[in-house]
């Protein structure tokens, strides 16, 4: 039952428009990328509650904080690179330190942005968002989950960062699959190793699991859609059940999902861990597929990491 891959920005943007129609407290503040982020769907649905500030990300976050302080649910949007890096001080001070009901919707995350190259490919956002107190960090696995993430972050008060893709991602969940902030979903189970992945890398992990199955290696695949608060119970269960963990993310190795998982394991239940991600490098121009291969973010790389971690477990 192959379904057409869809960018997670699409599902999120469509659902945000629905939520806006149903909830007059939702406002969107924008910095001239609403077409690309799909916030324009909200703009069409609720023009009176949509504000663009031009190309001014710092101003966008500050104004959203002001709106949130007056009991609006303030949704901001931009490319991940600009939203997080350009406005970091505003996110830290205005949103997190003041603990206001501001949502950061970041699209175009990771190398799969493609031809625009390194300046547009955000590979550090999970790291710099998850270190901020009061911030919660979500990375939906597919367009269906992105819709549920939209519901969840509007329903729950306080700061949220949502990482979305520009490129189409395989649909790997169902309409009725659960989505609970902070509660990871097991996609398949196995006893030899566990792959904990987020976003685009979950489908690569599932591909890797199928390949390994053919080699009589049975792995668990976990969709860690919430990077913060982290589902430590699931991580510890992976370690206890399989004794070997591989993490996979379209992000720098430093500071992201792999680091977060390692922080839990080293303190509670140390087992061998291998990490798949970008190794201290900027991206570059290319097709998404070329870039995923170049930066070793494909299922074949996850397969190699699983073999390596199992060898370490046995040694």
Partner 1 sequence: MSKPETVALKTKALQFRKKILETLEAAGSGHPGGSLSAVEIFVVLYGLVMAHRPNEPRWEDRDRLIISKGHITPVTYVALSGFGYFPEEELSTFRKFGSRLQGHVHHKVPGVEFNTGSLGHGLSYSNGVAMAAKMKNKGFKVYCLMGDGEIQEGSVWEAAMSAAHYKLNNVCAIVDYNKVQENGLVSEIKGLEPLAQKWSSFGWNVIEVDGHDIQSLIQAFEAFKTVENKPTVIIAHTLKGKGVPFMELKSAWHGKAPNKEQLADALKVLY
Give me the active site residues, please.
57
Tokens of 157: 């008060």
Cα 181 to Cα 202: distance, rounded to the nearest angstrom: 17
Cα 310 to Cα 315: distance, rounded to the nearest angstrom: 9
SS (H, E, C) 276-301: EEECCCCCCCCCHHHHHHHCCCCHHH
Tokens of 210: 């199928």
Nearer to partner 1, 133 or 214 (CB): 133
Nearer to partner 1, 74 or 264 (CB): 74
Name the burial class of residue 51, with classes exposed (0-12), middle (13-18) and buried (19+) by CB atoms within 10 angstroms of its CB.
Answer: middle
Tokens of 85: 């890096």
Q: How far apart are CB 240 and partner 1 at their closest, in Å?
A: 41
Q: How far apart are CB 31 and partner 1 at their closest, in Å?
A: 10
Does an H or E element contain 10, and which? helix 8-22
Q: How far is CA 137 from the centre of its chain?
A: 7
Nearer to partner 1, 53 or 219 (CB): 53
Nearer to partner 1, 65 or 205 (CB): 65
Q: How far apart are CB 94 and partner 1 at their closest, in Å?
A: 6
Q: How far apart are CB 98 and partner 1 at their closest, in Å?
A: 5
Name the burial class of residue 250, with classes exposed (0-12), middle (13-18) and buried (19+) by CB atoms within 10 angstroms of its CB.
Answer: buried
Name the burial class of residue 216, with classes exposed (0-12), middle (13-18) and buried (19+) by CB atoms within 10 angstroms of its CB.
Answer: exposed
Tokens of 126: 């999970």
Look at residues 209, 38, 224 and name the one whose alpha carbon lies nearest to residue 137.
224
Cα 306 to Cα 53: distance, rounded to the nearest angstrom: 47
Q: How far apart are CB 100 and partner 1 at their closest, in Å?
A: 9
Q: 160: which DSSP letter?
A: E
Nearer to partner 1, 59 or 116 (CB): 59
Residues that bind partner 1 (CB under 8 A): 27, 29, 49, 51, 53-54, 56, 58-59, 61-72, 74, 89-90, 92-94, 97-98
Nearer to partner 1, 39 or 278 (CB): 39
Q: How far apart are CB 286 and partner 1 at their closest, in Å?
A: 33
């Amino acid at each position: 039952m192959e379904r057409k891959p869809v960018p997670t920005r699409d599902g999120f943007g469509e659902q945000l428009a629905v939520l806006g129609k149903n909830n007059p407290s939702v406002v969107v503040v924008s910095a001239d990328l609403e077409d690309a982020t799909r916030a324009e769907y909200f703009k069409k649905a609720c023009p009176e509650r949509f504000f663009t500030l031009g190309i001014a990300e710092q101003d966008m976050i500050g104004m959203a904080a002001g709106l949130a302080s007056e009991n609006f649910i303030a949704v901001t949007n931009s490319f991940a690179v600009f939203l997080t890096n350009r406005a970091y001080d505003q996110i830290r001070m205005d949103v997190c330190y003041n603990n206001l009901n501001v949502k950061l919707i970041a699209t175009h995350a990771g190398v799969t942005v493609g031809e625009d190259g390194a300046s547009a490919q955000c590979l550090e956002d999970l790291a710099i968002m998850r270190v901020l107190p009061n911030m919660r960090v979500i990375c939906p696995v597919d367009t269906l989950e992105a819709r549920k993430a939209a519901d969840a972050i509007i329903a729950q008060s306080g700061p949220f960062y949502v990482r979305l893709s520009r490129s189409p991602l395989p649909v790997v969940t169902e309409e009725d699959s659960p989505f609970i902030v902070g509660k990871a979903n097991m996609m398949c189970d196995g006893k030899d190793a566990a792959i904990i992945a987020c976003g685009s890398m979950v489908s690569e992990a599932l591909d890797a699991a199928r390949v390994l199955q053919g080699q009589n290696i049975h792995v668990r695949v976990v969709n860690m859609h919430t990077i913060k608060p982290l589902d430590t119970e699931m991580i510890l269960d992976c370690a206890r059940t399989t004794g070997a963990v591989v993490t996979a993310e379209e992000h720098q190795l430093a500071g992201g999902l792999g680091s977060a998982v390692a922080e839990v394991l080293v303190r509670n239940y140390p087992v061998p861990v291998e990490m798949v991600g970008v190794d201290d490098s900027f991206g570059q121009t290319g097709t998404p597929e070329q870039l995923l291969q170049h930066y070793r973010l494909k299922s074949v790389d996850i397969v190699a990491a699983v073999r390596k971690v199992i060898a370490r477990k046995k040694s």
